[in-house]
Structure 1
Amino acid sequence: MGKGIRGMARADARPAPGNRWRYCRMRALAPDCARLRADAGPGRDNGDPRSDPVSRCIGQRGQGGPMSSIATGGRRRKDEGRPKVDASTVGRLFDRLPPHAPEAEMALLGSMVLGPEVIADVLHIVSRPEQFFMPAHGAIFRVLVDTYNRHRSGDLVQLVDALRDASVLDEVGGEAYLVQLAESVPTASNAPYYARIVADKARQRSLIDTAGTIIYDAYHAGDLRGEGLTELVDRAETAIFEIAEQDQTSEPAVLGDLLQQELERIEAAEGGGISGLPSGYDDLDAKLRGLQPGELIIVAARPSMGKTAFALNLAEQIARGGLTPWDSSAGREPIPVAFFSLEMSKSSVTQRLLSAFSGVQGTLFRDGSRISPEDWERIMKACNSLAEMPLYIDDSPGLTVMQLRARARRMASRYKIKCIMIDYLQLLTAPTAARESRQVEVSTISRQIKALARELNVPVVCLAQLNRGTEQREGNRPRMSDLRESGSIEQDADVVALLHREEYYHINNPRWIEEHPDKKGLAELIVAKQRNGPTGVVRLTWDNTTTRFKNYTAQSGYDEMASFDNPVYEPKPQPGYAEPHQPPQRQGGAFAPGGRTGPAANHRDGGGPDDDTGAPF
């Protein structure tokens, strides 16, 4: 009968697919649970599941059993801290040791002892003692590398002396074990092969560590910090991508191949063309030869200079293939652009884009009753054009730089993004370890953004704030040294452009404006640094009404957009209108011109044109 019962138990032990994970967990925990039950003694089970040793082993929700970090994923209380979930802990769930290859570790160390000249080849594959599963092997590796760095050698005698000086010789197995390592391989030439095995196993363990943490967080998402599923997924994705970045290496490229690629770029730019993405600003493209892939472009200015407006204008024009709103898009391929708005909401960004593209004063959007039929028509036409642009807007606030990188990778994979805009750098945060000071944090952020540009091989345009130094000097012209909180921004950037509008500092001085009519509406983009090209000043025209930067024209008061045959932007109507009009409709996926129902619009009292200032909103 006992045999039959055991047989039934084995048959019942086969779990349904949905319960397989729980079955593996219980099977792995059985020895621990049995031990705890034996230690508990009689009379301990009072009906409270928390008093059951098995329950304590698995861990009740909110309790702190030995395996509660995995079995329940319960987020600990604030005073308990977050438990560490590593590969060894997760391995207990499946009754297995974490991935490791002791023979490969021994062979790698033996090769390094036998032929110290291979250490340089190994270090670009395995660079940290933590990548070894056996602690003794990690200690030997550290001493071997230190000895090699000091003496450019590392034979067995030097290794023994170094381990003895570090008081760890006996801990790693003594001289006999070191001799065994040296004799474990016939030649040192296979060291890179062994190193790749060790590195792969280390990354597998990192994945298991991260998976355990994700399981832990998923069980109790929001219990401590009010996180939602989206934030949890972002954090999990960031952690996975951090593993993907570990130990990334690139093989050296032969000069002949690089020359061929460079010749192709030169040929593409032959005849006045550009080798990068077209910005839609002729003088800027002439200066930079377009926005170059893999480059970090910093656009910095004081508040209210129009940084966000410039970035939005740039994003919109790049998305249209380098065309301004008054250019025909026929024959021009659209370019997918990602815009990360850490300061403004999607609604505000959309309003600005719509105002700048339609030529309708932005302040009118807040009061639809004051929009004329002609303006409604412009708005509808602008909607039709904007809706076709591959422009993707993310307004998630409080992103860390690693979260931004994870989202950018996702967008690049899903939408084939070719350009990234970030508004703005100082609103990002760095990982906790880099927050010892604000300067260190900003330096970390700028390096990470530069790494993002290199990784995705796309231009990254990142806005940045300038400090008050510009307001304390005569002329108020910005300098690269005015970049706020970190000098590393200018070091990491390939291009630093400083946006300046002298008119802004004299807006309340009518006499200055009368004496300097050429400065009215003038904006300067000061290219203070360009790693691979000339510096200089690019002039633009600023339209305060629609918050738009345009190609520069020297004619004061010249309406550049109205001078072109533009189906969207047309000269504004003359005073007065009284026709009732229908509300705008969207038909068949397109925005149709129209207006609102109701009495005749009389918001201008049949008089002169709107007198709003149209200050940037």
Structure 2
Amino acid sequence: MAEIKLPPQDLDAEKSVLGSLMIDKNAISKVADILSSQDFYASAHQKIYRAILNLFNKNEPIDILSVTSVLKTEKEIEEVGGSSYLGDLINVVPSSAHIGHYAKIVREKRVLRDLISISSELQEMVFEKGTSAENLIDQAEQKIFSVSLKSSDRNFIPIKEELKEAYERMEKLHQGEKRLRGVTTGFDDLDNYLSGFQRSDLIILGARPSLGKTTLALDIARAAASKGGVPVGIFSIEMSREQIVDRLIAAEAQVPLWRLRTGRLSADIDFELIQGALDRLSRVPIFIDDSPAPNIMQIRSIARRLQAEHGLGLLIIDYVQLIMSLNNSDNIVQQFTEISHGLKSLAKELNIPILAVSQLNRSVDQRDIKVPRLSDLRETGSWEQDADVVLLIYRKDRDRLEPALEEENTTSIIIAKHRNGPTGTVDVKFDPEKVTFRPIEKKKVMAEEF
């Protein structure tokens, strides 16, 4: 006769947690953020913990009498074993000193049960017709990462839990303790409009070819990683890892890229600058993947792993038209819509900003004055709708046969869309030799209310 296996659980640890909570009114603050009622295996223990959380949320005392009262009100006292069982729980532990240890055991057993449940779901999916191996792997990763990264399975957070933190954040911003709320771009005027790149935002950086999209994206990556200490992941689908690294070194060292790539360097000065750049770049958390034509599932998988291992804070994709679509349709708009939806979903899942570099459609080239517009994204799927911020690059000197001297290499970063703030234009100077953009020294631009 086959042995019946019980799901992973530790009833003694569950009893110790509940007993500790009823003998120490302050113990709940040590476990409320890591335990939910569903983490308990025994149904009675789930009900008791819910009663304790009920009291905690109302800021009422937690002891055997108050817990009994809540359970009676909910008509669950008999289902948990009566008042005598609550008394037994108190006698299980002499003190609450080890409640954190017991709570981790309870949580770990819940994770193991979840993994068993996930494996059963995946086993069923394997036998379903029409389920591709790639789709199955993606769903498996998503489910497993959701188990490993979440300490609680509550989906809805009461607004009152966020209000205090929001007020403290606004107060610090007002007092100047931290003027930037998001990830820095490295350009003060642009940060002033956006307050940096915000968590869960999808930011589109669009332009026609050869206007500096990759250069600006790499400048932002260097600033975020070096100034902000933010781990940055770069999917370089167009350029090789070697090309990206060469550009980062040239921009950081302020040495012309052509000299760096051909080896025609000044023996002393250039090597000294490059050595300093190598030293600085070796300490910044930038991670590069140059896999050719990844699909959205592969991008999600690598990004999840990068966040789990290194705390990913900004993801850059250069550029989105080279992402392989999983949609078998010949409709290019449908393919790009699938990709834009996928990237926005990933930004929310990982709670990080994603900067997606995009080519604009050819309608820009057909205009006399080639100032890009938000509508130039419309033929490339739903980027315009999915994006929280849209940045467009415009080179003033490209529109004139004889540009004025002050306009040479002057580039406008047009904030064409800003879901939660003002739009506007920030002018920067492009250095084509050192492949980097620089702020233009001028009176500081202040974003007005919108």
* Same-fold status (TM-score > 0.5): yes
Q: What is the alpha-carbon distance in structure 2 between the residues aligned to residue 395 and residue 212 of structure 1? A: 34
Q: Is residue 191 of structure 2 the alignment partner of residue 303 of structure 1?
A: no
Report the equivalent of 1:362.
257
Q: What is the alpha-carbon distance in structure 2 between the residues aligned to residue 498 and residue 459 of structure 1? A: 17
> Would the alpha carbon gap of residues 268 and 337 (structure 1) be closer, same or farther in structure 2, given more than 3 Å must change?
farther
Deviations 1:105-146 (A, max 9, x none): xxxxxxxxxxxxxxxxxxxxxxxxxxxxxxxxxxxxxxxxxx
Q: What is the alpha-carbon distance in structure 1 between the residues aligned to residue 356 and residue 126 of structure 2? A: 33
Partner SS, residue 175 of structure 2: coil
Letter in 2 for 1:241: E
Deviations 1:185-215 (A, max 9, x none): xxxxxxxxxxxxxx999854431156789xx
CA deviation after TM superposition for structure 1 residue 530, in Å: 0.6
CA deviation after TM superposition for structure 1 residue 259, in Å: 1.9
Report the equivalent of 1:189.
none
Q: Is residue 398 of structure 2 the alignment partner of residue 504 of structure 1?
A: yes
Q: Is residue 261 of structure 2 the alignment partner of residue 373 of structure 1?
A: no
Deviations 1:250-278 (A, max 9, x none): 63322212322322331342234111112
Pairing partner for 1:257 from 153, 157, 161: 161
8 Å CA contact 1:206, 1:243 repeated in 2? no
Tell me the TM-score normalised to structure 2 length: 0.66
Report the equivalent of 1:208.
123
8 Å CA contact 2:327, 2:338 repeated in 1? no
Cα-Cα RMSD? 3.1
CA deviation after TM superposition for structure 1 residue 342, in Å: 0.6
Q: What is the alpha-carbon distance in structure 1 between the residues aligned to residue 139 and residue 369 of structure 2? A: 47
Deviations 1:154-204 (A, max 9, x none): xxxxxxxxxxxxxxxxxxxxxxxxxxxxxxxxxxxxxxxxxxxxx999854
Report the equivalent of 1:80.
none
Report the equivalent of 2:171.
267
Q: What is the alpha-carbon distance in structure 2 between the residues aligned to residue 369 and residue 501 of structure 1? A: 30
Report the equivalent of 2:372.
478
Q: What is the alpha-carbon distance in structure 2 between the residues aligned to residue 475 and residue 295 of structure 1? A: 30
Task: Tell me which moved more, 269-278 or 383-392.
Answer: 269-278
Report the equivalent of 2:386.
492
CA deviation after TM superposition for structure 1 residue 366, in Å: 2.7
CA deviation after TM superposition for structure 1 residue 246, in Å: 10
User: In the TM superposition, what are the counterparts of 1:138-157 in structure 2 within 5 Å?
Assistant: none
Q: Is residue 302 of structure 2 the alignment partner of residue 402 of structure 1?
A: no
8 Å CA contact 1:210, 1:239 repeated in 2? no
Pairing partner for 2:415 from 527, 535, 560: 527
Deviations 1:36-81 (A, max 9, x none): xxxxxxxxxxxxxxxxxxxxxxxxxxxxxxxxxxxxxxxxxxxxxx
Q: What is the alpha-carbon distance in structure 2 between the residues aligned to residue 337 and residue 245 of structure 1? A: 20
CA deviation after TM superposition for structure 1 residue 349, in Å: 0.2
Q: What is the alpha-carbon distance in structure 2 between the residues aligned to residue 352 and residue 399 of structure 1? A: 22
CA deviation after TM superposition for structure 1 residue 470, in Å: 1.3
Pairing partner for 1:240 from 132, 140, 148: 140
Deviations 1:368-392 (A, max 9, x none): 1444421111111111111111101
Tell me the TM-score normalised to structure 1 length: 0.49
Q: Is residue 218 of structure 2 the alignment partner of residue 318 of structure 1?
A: no
8 Å CA contact 1:300, 1:307 repeated in 2? yes
Q: What is the alpha-carbon distance in structure 2 between the residues aligned to residue 376 and residue 401 of structure 1? A: 40
Q: What is the alpha-carbon distance in structure 1 between the residues aligned to residue 209 and residue 165 of structure 2? A: 41
User: In the TM superposition, what are the counterparts of 1:36-75 in structure 2 within 5 Å?
Assistant: none
Identity of aligned residues (%): 34
Higher Rg of the two aligned structures: 1
8 Å CA contact 2:295, 2:325 repeated in 1? yes
8 Å CA contact 2:430, 2:436 repeated in 1? yes
Report the equivalent of 1:517.
405
Letter in 1 for 2:121: S
Q: Is residue 236 of structure 2 the alignment partner of residue 344 of structure 1?
A: no
> Would the alpha carbon gap of residues 527 and 257 (structure 1) be closer, same or farther in structure 2, given more than 3 Å must change?
same
Question: RCO higher in 1 or 2 (8 Å CA, sep ≥ 6)?
Answer: 2
> Would the alpha carbon gap of residues 441 and 244 (structure 1) be closer, same or farther in structure 2, given more than 3 Å must change?
farther
8 Å CA contact 1:465, 1:484 repeated in 2? no
Pairing partner for 1:413 from 298, 308, 325: 308
Letter in 2 for 1:517: L
8 Å CA contact 2:316, 2:356 repeated in 1? yes
Letter in 2 for 1:404: I
Report the equivalent of 1:453.
347
Task: Tell me which moved more, 517-526 or 351-360.
Answer: 517-526
How many residues are treated as equivalent by the alignment? 324
Q: What is the alpha-carbon distance in structure 2 between the residues aligned to residue 397 and residue 345 of structure 1? A: 9
